[in-house]
Amino acid sequence: IQADGTDGNCVTFVLHDEDHTLGNSLRYMVMKNPDVEFCGYCITHPSESKINFRIQTRGALPAVEPFRKGLNDLMGVCQHVLNTFERSMKEYRAQR
């Protein structure tokens, strides 16, 4: 991850080896934060596997904080989905 920006409240993070899968999910999680004024991403070029992920916050909150929180929240959601799937598979196998 590279972070480009002159102001701590408005930063563009460059995520290498990523695509819409992470970009859209992370954008959704970050936008749930009421301190975030803008959040968006773009794919630089179809032949490149990187995205530019931009966050602009209100007030004095640095943009890296909602970025970090969004990543942690997304990991929590993914862990919940994995646990639910594994529990369901275990129940299914027990019924067979």
Ordered domains of the chain (ranges, CATH): 8-93 (3.30.1360.10)
For the chain, give the percent of residues with pLDDT over 70: 94
pLDDT band at 38 (very low <50, low <70, confident <90, very high): very high
Tokens matching residue 48: 């490149």
Contact 53, 41 (CB under 8 A): yes
Contact 13, 22 (CB under 8 A): no
pTM for the predicted model, two decimal places: 0.86
Q: What does the pLDDT average to over 17-29? A: 95
Cβ-proximal residues to 46 (8 Å cutoff; 6+ apart), any chain: none
Can you give the C-alpha Rg of the chain in angstroms? 17
pLDDT of res. 60: 83
Tokens matching residue 40: 């968006």
pLDDT of res. 41: 97
Q: Compute the distance between CA of residue 9 and CA of residue 61 in angstroms, rounded to an integer.
A: 6
Residue 58 DSSP class = S
Q: Compute the distance between CA of residue 88 and CA of residue 23 in angstroms, rounded to an integer.
A: 28
Q: What does the pLDDT average to over 57-61? A: 88
pLDDT of res. 59: 79
Is it the case that residue 2 has pLDDT exceeding 60? no
